[in-house]
A = this chain, B = another copy of it.
Amino acid sequence: MENIAEISTALDTAWILIMGLLVFFMNTGFAMLESGFSRVKNTVNMLSKNVTVFFISVLAFWFIGFALMFSEANGFIGINSFLGLFLSGNKEFYSSLKHLNIPLDAIFFFQMVFAGTAATIVSGALAERTKFISFLIFTFFMSALIYPVSGHWILGKGFLYDLGVRDFAGSLMVHTVGGMAALAGVMVMGPRVGKYNKDLTPNAILGHSIPMITLGGFILWLGWFGFKMGCTFGFSPELCAHIALCTNASGIMGGLGALIGSWYFLRKPDLSMVINGLLAGLVASTASCAYVSLPSAHLIGFVAGSLTVISILSLERFFYIDDPVGAISVHGIGGIWGSLALGLFSAREHINYAHVAYPKAGLFFGGGAEQLLLQLIGILAVVVWSFIISFIVWKILKHTIGIRVSQKAEVDGLDLAEHGMEAYPGFVSSGDSII
C-alpha cells in the first residue's frame, strides 16, 4: 500500500470482511438456538436445515438475488438484473454500490452472508413439522426474490429509499421480512401435533437443551455486532464505536425487559424468554443504531424485550400461531417496532459519515411526525410484499409437493423419518416434554 487512498481502501475492506465473518458466524448461532428449542427427536433435522439453508441462500443470492437488489432499477426492481447473474457484472453495473471504494467481491461477501440471515429466520418458526425439501425450495425463493426485492426498495436505493424511508442495518429489510415469511409459513402449515388441546388451550412443548439455546443466543449477539458495524460499508471510528455501544445496550435492555416480563407474566425468570428478549432488542436497534443516542438505544431495546414476551404469549394463546422458537415475535414484531422506533428516536446530533444516508429527526427529537410516517409507509410496503409473496409460495408448495411431513413422521420425529439418524446415540431419551 503506497498512498493514503490505498490504505484507506484496505482498512475499509478489511473491516467489511471481518464484520462479514461475524455475520457468517450467526449461522452457528441460529443452528444452536433453533436446535435447542426443538425436541430431541427433531434435532438433526433442525441442524440440517440451518446448514443447508445457508448453502441454498448463498447460491440463490449469487445467482440472481444480488443483481435484483443492487443493479440499476426503475425503483421497484433491478430491470436489467439478468445481465448480472452470478456476479458477472463489474462494480459499475451495481448502480447503488458503484460509489463505494472497496472491491465488489468484499461488498458481495458481506451482502451474501447478510442475506443468509433472512432465510434462516424462517426455519425456526416452522420447526418440527416441515418437509426438508420444501423448506429448501422456499429458501431459494426467499434469497432469490423475496428478500432482494424489498431490499432493493431500501438498500438498493429503490422507491422507499427515495421517499426517505431509512433502515440502517435491516430491522425492516431483513428481520421483518424474515418474520413475515415465517408467519405466512406457520399460517399455511398449522400447529404441531399436540400443541393445542381440543379446547384450543396451548401446551408448552419444551425444547431439549437450554445450554444450546444460550450458546446460540450469545453467538448471535456476537455476530450482530458485525451485522450492524458492517453496514457502514467502510470504517468510521466514531460511528462504529457508537454502533457497538448501541447494539450492546439494546441487547441488554431487551434481555432485561424479557426478564421482568417473564417474571411478571410467568412468575419466573425464564431464560429462554430472556434470550429471545435480548435478540429482539438486537433486532429492534438494527434499523436505527447509527441514528439514535445511546440512552435511546437502551429504551428501544427494553420495549422490544417486553413486547417479545407479550407477543410470544399472545400469538400462542390468542392467535393459535405455533412458532417453536419465537422467531415471529423476535424478528417480525421486533423488526416492526425497530423500524418504527427510528421515526421516534432518530436524532440530529448523530455522527456524520459519508456512506450513510441519515433520516430526519424523529418525533421525540424535534423532527415532528414526518420520519415516523415515512417509516410507517415503509413497514406497510415491506410487510405486505413479504407476507403475501411468502404466503403464495407456501400455498403453491403445499398444493404441489407438500410442505408437511406425515403425522406419523411428526410423532416419531423428523430425525428418523427424514434423515434416518438420531442426534444423540448413546443417551437415553425420556421422550417429549409437553406440559
Contacts and interface: CB of A to CB of B under 8 A. Distances in A.
Taking chain A's interface residues, is the majority helix, strand, or loop, or is none over half, making it mixed?
A: helix
Nearest to A256: B55
A240 to B, nearest CB: 6
A109 interface: yes
A208 B426 contact: yes
Interface string A13-49: 1110110111011011001100100011001100110
Interface stretch (A155-163, A327-335, A376-384, A414-422): A414-422
Interface in A55-85: 55, 58-59, 62
Most chain B CB within 10 A, of A27, A52, A256, is at: A52
Interface in A209-234: 209-212, 214-215, 217-219, 221-222, 225, 229
Copies per complex of this chain: 3
A393 interface: no
B229 A17 contact: yes
B21 A240 contact: no
Given A28-B219, A51-B271, 11 more contacts: A17-B241, A24-B248, A44-B210, A51-B217, A55-B255, A58-B248, A109-B241, A207-B425, A208-B424, A210-B422, A268-B421
Interface of A: 1-4, 7-11, 13-15, 17-18, 20-22, 24-25, 27-28, 31-32, 35, 39-40, 43-44, 47-48, 50-52, 54-55, 58-59, 62, 86-87, 102-103, 105-106, 108-109, 112, 132, 206-212, 214-215, 217-219, 221-222, 225, 229, 235-238, 240-242, 244-245, 248-249, 252, 255-256, 259, 266-272, 274-275, 278, 294-295, 418-433
